[in-house]
Structure 1
Amino acid sequence: MIAYVTVGADDIARAKRFYSAFLPALDYTLTEGPEGLSYVLPVKLGQSVILPDFYVKPTFDGRPASAGNGVMVAFEARSQQQVLDLHSAALAAGGFDEGQPGFRALYGPHFYVGYLRDPQGNKIALFSSDPDEPGRDG
């Protein structure tokens, strides 16, 4: 099981604007500190921790942050409409379009996804694969 994902950012304020445009809508809460941003899913009393956490941090070695070639972090939305809404919100908050929301021929008939780059260049996917929503072929 993946416990957490960390992406580097040189401009934490810019990263906060971008990620706070959509992660709270997916129930992530934000804690800020000198070490960066920590987005976690809330845990109810008696409930196990819900993973993964998502961190946005300055680099440990002090060199500029860079996006990994072939690296992508995907967040599951509740519906196709939420994918559309959050993709738009992330673009308005300083993200860059890497693929408009829609169905992709390479994936299952209900996999609806939009792709973005954060201000640092990290690739982000927002997707829904709810079989109760209209699919690619219908």
Structure 2
Amino acid sequence: MIGYVTVGADDLDMAEKFYSAFLPRLGYGLDVSREGLSYSIPMADGSAFLPPDFYVKPPYDGAPASTGNGAMVAFEVPTQAMVRDLHASALAAGGRDEGAPGFRTDYSAHFYVGYLRDPQGNKIALYCSSRSEPGRPD
């Protein structure tokens, strides 16, 4: 089980603007400290599962933040319409488009995804794979 994910950022103000454009709407709360940004989802009453926290911080070694080639963080979204809306909100908050929301022929018929880069260049996916949503029209 993944406990947390951390991405690096040199400009925490830009990072906060970008991530706060969509993470709170997915249930994440934000705590800002001298160490950086901490986004977390509170554990539901009676739940044994705690979703992983998501941290945005300057690198510990003091060197500039860099992105991983092939590294990506994906956030599950309840509906396809919300994928489109959150993707647009993140773009308006300083993100870069890496693939407009939609179906991909290489993925399953119900996998609907939009890709972004945050202001630092980290790759982010917003996806919905709900079978209660329309599938890819093959």
Specify the TM-score bucket, using the shorter chain as the normaliser: over 0.9
Question: C-alpha displacement at 1:45, in angstroms?
Answer: 4.3
Distance 2:97 2:117 in 1: 6
Distance 1:89 1:54 in 2: 19
Counterpart in 2 of 1:130?
130
* 1:90-129 equivalent positions in 2, closer than 5 A: 90-129=90-129
Number of matched pairs: 138
Is 1:14 matched up with 2:9? no
Structure 1 unpaired stretches of 5+: none
Deviations 1:88-138 (A, max 9, x none): 000000000000000000110010000000000000000001111111026
Distance 2:49 2:137 in 1: 37
Amino acid at match of 2:97: D
Identity value in percent = 64
Counterpart in 2 of 1:48?
48
Structure 2 unpaired stretches of 5+: none
State the TM-score, normalized to the length of structure 1.
0.96
Amino acid at match of 1:4: Y
RMSD of aligned C-alpha atoms?
Answer: 1.1
For 1:2, what is the secondary structure of its paired residue?
A: coil
Amino acid at match of 1:23: L
Amino acid at match of 1:27: G
Is 1:36 matched up with 2:36? yes
State the TM-score, normalized to the length of structure 2.
0.96
Counterpart in 2 of 1:63?
63
Distance 2:83 2:34 in 1: 31
Question: C-alpha displacement at 1:47, in angstroms?
Answer: 3.5
